[in-house]
Amino acid sequence: MRRIAFLLAGATGVAAHTDCTLADTGPCHSIEYKHAAYIICEVDLRRLTVRLYWNRPDGTPYAHLSDLPRQLEGGTGRLLFGTNAGMFDSNLKPVGLYVERGQELVHANTKSGKGNFYMKPNGIFYISSGNAAIAETQAFLKQRSRVDLATQSGPMLVTDGRLHPRFNRASTSLKLRSGVGVRADGKVIFAISQEAVSFDSFARLFRDGVNCPNALFLDGDSASSFYAPTLNRSGNVLPLGPMLAVFEANRDAPRQ
């Protein structure tokens, strides 16, 4: 399974001297938590619009965040930042559930296998009727929810306030990591580590640092790029599969 770059709009300057401090620079912030540096992007779905992208109308993958639409339909809703949306295969096809604009293009993957995606429980990030959530895959499938967008990845970092049972606080497996969480107030939190951290540390960032009772791993290792046209962030070099894009809200268009 290919490694995926996690790409966000970011702010410069990592805060220091406290366990968790923020520089208020818009939807994205630099943060230091437990002596590790991260970039956090906070998305309020009342003000911002989230879209999923994979293939162009001609069926070919977008592949690069710099090729995503810069605005929503009708020339409104400026693109603020983009990020990968989970794991994909060598053909850039999502390896798990993928729902774009209400259409299920890839079915949920409940198979067992090797790699982070198959570290059960894995989970699904989704938006339904303007509300975001993250659920374990089996729980999501039992809900039979109708969703506007959804992407499956793994493992779950935090589930109802509990860390993944396989995470070890003493782990020496340190990598760059990216993920998404949803706070109790419904805001969506994207995070990328700016230095190598363990799964346990990354999960604790979501649960204890930014107060997300549920969070999902997107990818890691060499994934350390980020993309924001207004900040001259150029995006990925290697091609991506599914991608998330965050826009200023177009209040005249249907929301996802």
Beta-carbon contacts of 133 under 8 Å, excluding residues fewer than 6 positions away, are 125, 126, 127, 182, 214
Lowest mean pLDDT among 10-14, 126-130, 142-146, 248-252: 10-14
Domain-embedded: residue 150 = yes
241 versus 21: the higher-pLDDT residue is 241
pLDDT at 22: 45
**Domain-embedded: residue 13:** no
Note the pLDDT tens digit of each residue in 187-234.
999 998 889 999 999 999 999 999 999 999 998 775 445 776 655 556
Q: Is residue 49 part of a domain?
A: yes
Contact 194, 224 (CB under 8 A): yes
Is residue 203 one of the residues assigned to a domain?
yes
184 or 79, which is more confident?
A: 184
Q: Per the domain annotation, does 137 fall within a domain? A: yes
- H/E stretch holding 201 reads helix 199-204
Angle at 242 between CA 238 and CA 246, to 5 degrees: 105
Global pTM reads 0.87
Greatest Cα pair distance, the chain, in angstroms, is: 51
The pLDDT score that the predictor gives to residue 145 is: 85
How buried is 190 (Cβ within 10 angstroms: 0-12 exposed, 13-18 middle, 19+ buried)?
buried
Specify if 197 maps to a domain.
Answer: yes
Tokens encoding 93: 């096809």
24-39 burial, b for 16+ CB within 10 Å, e for fewer?
Answer: eeebbbbbbbeebbbb
State the chain's mean pLDDT as an integer: 85
- At residue 215, the pLDDT reads 98
Domain count, the chain: 1
Instruction: Note the pLDDT tens digit of each residue in 126-172.
Output: 999 999 999 999 999 999 889 999 999 999 999 999 999 999 999 99
Q: Is the pLDDT of residue 239 over 70?
A: yes
- Most confidently predicted of 3-17, 106-120, 223-237: 106-120
Q: Is residue 58 part of a domain?
A: yes
Which SS3 state, helix, strand or coil, does residue 208 take? Answer: helix
**DSSP code of residue 207:** I
Domain of 193?
20-248
Exposed, middle or buried, 99 (CB in 10 Å: 0-12/13-18/19+)? buried
Instruction: Report pLDDT digits (tens) over 65-81.
Output: 888 888 887 777 888 88
Q: Judge whether residue 4 has pLDDT over 50.
A: no
